[in-house]
Amino acid sequence: MPKFETPFEQLADEGTVFLLNKPLEWTSFDVVNKLKWNLKKTFSKIKIGHAGTLDPLADGLLIVCCGKKTKTIESIQNQQKTYIAEIFIGATRPSFDRETEIDAHYETPDSSIEKIKSVVHSFVGKQMQFPPIFSAIKQEGKPVYLKARAGKEVVMTAKEIEIYKLEMLDYQFPFLKLHIECSKGTYIRSLAHDIGKALNSGAYLQALKRTAIGNYKIDNAWEIEDLIEELKSQKELQQIKN
């Protein structure tokens, strides 16, 4: 089981960084709010926030900072991200993932291993990427996904991102599994969509797991319920000491 970076009784003063394995279908704020509710039973004024959103349909590493460690959120967000992604080839969805229904099917592309590897490798390096219209990026003070869900036109601006490493782990048509190391601001959903276009086909993100942010690894992360139980145990132990 992971250890606390800071002794429990010093969390309010020194703060700490929690590594959590975000469950599927939880929002990042769901995780933060549950942890915040439990921490405030002991530390009424403790600050808390996450260092990088993870979509509800993704799981894996979510970093939550408490107390004075909330000052490190921006520096953590700026670090390199590592993912394992599964991409479905042969169809598209407006959200570039499973949030929305399939809107187009495509004929089977040239799916030879050599062709797939060549296309995958072509995405390594700096490039301009269009974020999905179903994203939390704000325009006129509101997340663009609100307009997209309402069926309104959304125009996105391309942003520079960088793919440091892109490795094909497996390919069994229609599923392509990738190891990805990338910069802040990279949308893996957009990468999946763009790979589909490069194959003269369509593609969307089937599944995504974040495995690392900088030197923070998923192997050292808490399951949210285990962390809640540990917090309760630490609180009880502190009460006995007092």
Distances (CA, A) of 226 to 64, 143, 185, 241: 15, 33, 30, 23
Burial (0-12, 13-18, 19+ Cβ within 10 Å), 138: exposed
Is 194 a known active-site residue? no
Nearest to 195 by CA among 85, 55, 57: 85
Tokens (6 digits) for 192:
């999946």
Distances (CA, A) of 48 to 13, 70, 169, 212: 13, 7, 36, 20
Catalytic residue selected from 13, 30, 55, 226: 55
Nearest to 151 by CA among 206, 196, 90, 103: 103
Residues forming the active site:
55
